[in-house]
Amino acid sequence: MEDDHYELSKLAAEYRKVREERLKQVSRDRLLKIAKKKIQTTMIGALSAIEKRLDFLLQDNDPKLNDVFEELRSEILDRGNTQIRNLENEFTHYDIVWKKNTIFLPFKGDK
């Protein structure tokens, strides 16, 4: 009987450990996804601002100016994507746990 209790305790401990590791993985993936989206939004926003402000120049169909813009666009996207890869690599060095919203409701017991 004690052996059964020991086995159940051991299984419960293993289950908690697996569940905790899964929570860390889900938390890390969730934060990484959010961070990647923010970097991408920054890159696209920068490109959009450049296009908006320099649209009058780009509409002249000057091939040299268009080439410069395409090089600039490519450089911005390449640097942003490099930072995303760096972020992914950096996240592997951390244990991240998402603190979900928790509400504690008081309980009044019978007195």
pTM: 0.73
Q: pLDDT, tens digit, for every residue of 17-74?
A: 999 999 999 999 999 999 999 999 999 999 999 999 999 888 888 899 999 999 999 9
Q: Give the residue carrying structure tokens 């959009």.
A: 48
Are 39 and 84 spatial neighbours (Cβ–Cβ below 8 Å)?
yes
Residue 93 has pLDDT above 70, yes or no: yes
Closest CA to 99 of 31, 13, 39: 31
Among the ranges 5-19, 74-88, 91-105, which has the highest mean pLDDT value?
A: 74-88
| pLDDT classification of 110: cutoffs 50, 70, 90 | low
Query: Rounded distance, CA 1 to CA 5, Å?
Result: 6
